[in-house]
Structure 1
Amino acid sequence: MTDNPAAEIRADKDGRRTTAPALVADKGEGGLVLTLSGDWLARTIGSIEKTVADTGESDLGKSVTIDLGSVGRVDTAGALLVEKMSRKLSDGGRSVEMSGVREKDGALFEAVRAAIDRVRPEPEVAKRNRVVAALDGIGRSVYGLYDEVVVGLNIIGSSIYGAGRRVTGKTQVRLPAIITQMDRMGVRAVPIIALMSFLIGAVIAQ
């Protein structure tokens, strides 16, 4: 719940120093005071996100004050993190108050609150006519059946054509070719069939 005091991270291009965000809990007269310091920016809050999350889940009493008077710079990501912590603490029935918010940062926090509270409309689902939907399903089924019939007729036609050529003597039955195909589709297929049978059996047995 308590983080180390702010420490320097690096200097920006304009020469300004960026300090790590920090959160310190102290007992005040009216309850617990969470003092925030450092720069609460998108590139710095990663080091304190877990601390903030743990603080939001902690039992800190009935009254909590979040003091932002020592905060350096804050952007949308930092304001969002602080606001989420405040709301998490409020969900436990506590009285949560923010103090020390600078005037230039007040508008940012208000915008973040408005964005969180904004009710986003549910996406509209296009309504389809039942008759049209039924006809669409029938059409798709018939189209799929057509493809299957074409493939089936192609196989049957090829078989009849090949058998006719054998009967009329235009082609000869080549025993070596038959044995080769039996070897490829029979003997060599045993390992993969055995593996598939084992895996299917293992799944069914679970």
Structure 2
Amino acid sequence: MASLPTDPKLSASVSDGVLRLAGEFTVWTLGQLPPEAGTASRLELSGLTRLDTAAAWYLTGREREGASLDGLTGTQAQLLDTVRQALPQPEAESAGPAGWRLMLEQTGRRMVAALVFLREIAEYLGRFLAALARGIRHPGDFRFTSLVYHCQETGLRAVPIVALMSFLIGIVLAFQGAVQLRQFGAEVFVIDLIAISILRELGILLTAIIVAGRTASALTASIGSMKMNEEIDAMRTLGLDPDMVLILPRVLALIITLPILGLIANIAGLVGGALMSWIELGISPSMFRYRLLADTSVDHVIVGLSKAPVFALIIGVIGCHAGMKVGKDAESLGAETSRAVVNAIFAVIVADALFSIFFSEVGL
């Protein structure tokens, strides 16, 4: 490092809250200030023979802290003004909307975010349909092994929890229905209550909710971890289509397995209802089966199971979309996983409500 042509000298002393400086106050002599210089409330600068921008920056900082600057020459004061004008000024925060304006702004932002989300979901639905059409046209590109694996993961492994849940729901419906209908001497109609509730609504709806919580999170976590590790970019580099490799087998496996799970849930729910009816009301299994077959239309089964492919498509597309939205950090993976579960369950419930309105209008 080159040495200075001259050795700058600075005299600095603090007494009675006054910092007196004399000599050359530059970037080279800033380090010569005594430790108690920061406590001085007034700076006496009449003895300065030289002042540069680094020292002027120090003086403006002390000035902002409330210290007074005395004894500056005209040239030194002009340099200090130049440094003051060059300092960055914090931008004044504009007052945001308040009251009903704030409410309208927040509502508008949420509506725009919802529309953007729906557009992205429609995009991923189109990507799945395009991959499905490609798989039909070119069966060699379809990964049947991956489909079987995901059918096992999303379908076979979910059978115990789905069957147990539906069995318990059947027991609860039978018990609560018996308590209420016994007041009117119409205990036998608990069979119709169980059959219609489970076959038409609760069986497939609760199955879809369980699958949404179980599978949507798994889809997001698996695809999201691959995206974090840049495996999806590696697929594209190798000429592999992520839609064919990741999205198509997962969504198609859900479409295949959810109706089967719904059928298992219906059977388990009816068994639970029949068991509780036998225990609580004394309705024998043969009587339960007779009234079930005589009074329950097959339309209820068709209505319930017809929702399954749509629910499966909703869950799969939302889970894959959330997985593809994961960033490079683990925090985004957790956030997208939680968001996928919430969105999938909400979308399933909304779709079920729309199905109920539709079937009511067509008379089913």
Output the TM-score relative to the length of structure 1.
Answer: 0.45
Q: Which has the higher strand share?
A: 1
Q: Which has the higher helix share?
A: 2
Structure possessing the higher relative contact order (Cα contacts under 8 Å, 6 or more residues apart): 2
